[in-house]
Amino acid sequence: MRHLIAGNWKMNGLRSSLNEITKLKSLLAASQRAVDVLVCPPVTLLERLVVAAKGTVVKCGAQDCHASASGAHTGDVSAEMLSEAGAEFVIVGHSERRADHAEADVLVKAKAEAAQRAGMMPIICVGETQNERENGRAIDVVTNQLLGSLPNSGEFVVAYEPVWAIGTGLVPTLADIEEMHGVIRGKTAPAVRLLYGGSVKPSNAGDILQVANVNGALVGGASLKADDFHGIIDAYK
């Protein structure tokens, strides 16, 4: 399958940040790696990024969506709105959404199905906390999240992001990543792309992306700079 490197800008980026997309376009044109590239900016930059990325291999996505197509949901954005703005993917169930907004698996599943309804590909995030891993519950926690968050049918991507590794510089061992991705693969079809996320950077991407059942990466901070993001993409050389 064709692998996917996805960048999640989180709540970062103003109009000037699109200069990094211009630079990324030049870097990708020179390297031509056989990998799909996705950038998920703040919703305020989505349409501008779609325009900036036009004619390149860079795909555009969103970081979240509401489960309903429309309604009295002040401050929320529906999957249909994001699709109309040019998003092809949408991240759902990120640990920061689960923690900061108390999003449960049932809501994550509804959002994933909303993304499918609007013609987008959901990237469904799962992952354990440090306490859950230290208490030997990592596999059970991730399995339960997965089974509760996946849509009943249709296509989707799964991203395994150990919560304790996101933005901390900490990374599980390659054996731990392989074990968890093996568990997830056992619950999903062979064609489902499984991404690893959690302090992925150019210096460790080469090793991580060679692990069995790792079909790409969901990248946080390192996706904000074209050089760093391209360094991860370039691991596929």
- Looking from the CA of 155 toward its CB, the CA atoms found within 13 Å total 10
Inter-CA distances, 70 with 40, 56, 80, 115, Å: 22, 32, 9, 13
The total of other beta-carbon atoms located within 10 Å of residue 71's CB is 10
CB 71, CB 31: distance < 8 Å: no
Q: Which residues are catalytic?
A: 94, 161
The CA distance from 159 to 122, in Å, is 10
Q: Are 23 and 226 a contacting pair, CB within 8 Å?
A: yes
